[in-house]
Amino acid sequence: MMSFTCPDCQRPDSLHITHKLELPPDGRSDEISLQIVACDDCEFRGMAVYEESRRGASDSWHHDGRMVAAADVERLTNDISQCPQPGSSRCDCEVHETYGKTNEYGRWVFRYGSF
Ligand SMILES: [Zn+2]
Ligand SMILES: [Zn+2]
């Protein structure tokens, strides 16, 4: 299990995942997961993106935290709560459709996007 240092209180390993949405693979990653993280020690909540690729010579993964506005974290948390199967990348609900969009090159749109 990976852990993050909280960007607010700087305490290492204090963040944990409270919500996550598994998304379908795209042209770059085999696993994509959108996560809401919260700090055990302070009020911080944020968004993180986990991606894993099993293509090529070696496995690779990225786990990026993003600073997003509290209102956006709230919205994303609410959205994930609407999904009947957040742990399944094959779910075809509206939430999955919104956050799992790919562009004309087959790349996950939300990767570089913002709210
Ligand atoms: Zn903190
Ligand atoms: Zn869904």
* pLDDT (mean) for 84-99: 97
Cα of 95 from ligand 2 centre, angstroms: 5
Cα of 77 from ligand 2 centre, angstroms: 13
> Which ligand has its closest atom nearest to the C-alpha of 90?
2
* pLDDT (mean) for 82-95: 97
Report the share of the chain in percent with pLDDT over 90: 57
48 versus 81: which is more confidently predicted? 81
> Which ligand has its closest atom nearest to the C-alpha of 42?
1
Per the prediction, the chain carries an average pLDDT of: 87
Maximum Cα–Cα distance across the chain: 42
> Which ligand has its closest atom nearest to the C-alpha of 40?
1
Strand partners, 21: 34
- Give the separation between CA 18 and CA 30, rounded to whole angstroms: 22
pLDDT tens digits for range 64-75: 777 677 888 999
Residues with CB under 5 A from ligand 2 (ion): 83, 91, 93, 95-96
Q: Give 7-58 as a 3 state SS string.
A: CCCCCCCCEEEEEEEEECCCCCCCEEEEEEEEECCCCCEEEEEEEEECCCCC
> Which ligand has its closest atom nearest to the C-alpha of 37?
1
Query: Residue 35: its pLDDT value, please?
Result: 93
Pairing of strands 45-53, 31-39: antiparallel
Give this prediction's pTM: 0.84
Q: Which helix (H) or strand (E) holds 101?
A: none
pLDDT tens digits for range 17-26: 999 999 999 9
